[in-house]
Amino acid sequence: MMYAIGVDLGGTKTAAGVVSADGSVLFSETIPTLNRDGGGAILDATAALVSGLISRADAAGIAVDRVGVGSAGVIDASRGVVVSATDAIRGWAGTELTAGLASRLELPPSSVEAVNDVHAHALGEAWTGAAAGTASSLLVAFGTGVGGSFVLDGEPVLGHRYVGGHVGHFASPYAFDGGIPLPCVCGGSGHVEAIASGPAVREAYLRFGGQAPATDARAVFALAANGDAAAVRAVGVAAAAAGQAVGGLANILDPEVVVVSGGLADAGPSWWEPMERSLRAELLPALSDLPVLPAALGNAAALVGAASLVLTSAPILQRN
CATH code, domain with 117: 3.30.420.40
Q: Are residues 88 and 174 in the same domain?
A: no
190 and 117 in a common domain: no
Strand partners, 67: 5, 112
Q: What are the residue ranges in the chain where pLDDT is below 50?
A: 314-320
Q: Where are the alpha helices (DSSP H) in 226-268?
A: 229-253
Q: Do 148 and 111 fall into the same domain?
A: no
The residues, any chain, with a CB within 8 Å of residue 279's CB and separated by 6 or more, are: 242, 243, 244, 246, 247, 250, 258, 292
Contacts of 188 (CB under 8 A, 6+ apart): 169
Q: Does any domain span residue 127?
A: no
Regarding whether 214 and 78 lie in a shared domain, the answer is: no
pTM of the model: 0.95
107 in any annotated domain: yes
State pLDDT tens for residues 234-279.
999 999 999 999 999 999 999 999 999 999 999 999 999 999 999 9
129 found inside a domain: no
Q: Are 53 and 27 in contact (CB under 8 A)?
A: yes
3-state SS, residue 226: coil
The whole-number pLDDT of residue 312 equals 84
Q: Give me the amino acid identity at 109.
A: P
Is 174 contained in some domain? yes
Number of domains in the chain: 2
Residues 139 and 277 both lie in one domain: yes
Let me know if residue 262 belongs to a domain.
yes
Range of the domain at 54: 3-122+299-319
Start-end of H helices in 149-268: 193-196, 198-207, 217-225, 229-253
Give a yes or no: residue 128 inside a domain. no
Diameter of the chain measured on Cα atoms: 63
Same domain, 114 and 187: no
Question: In this structure, are 309 and 289 located in the same domain?
Answer: no
Residue 257 and residue 143 share a domain: yes
Residue 25 inside a domain? The answer is: yes
* Other Cβ atoms closer than 10 A to 245: 30
pLDDT at 251: 98
The DSSP symbol for 189 reads: B
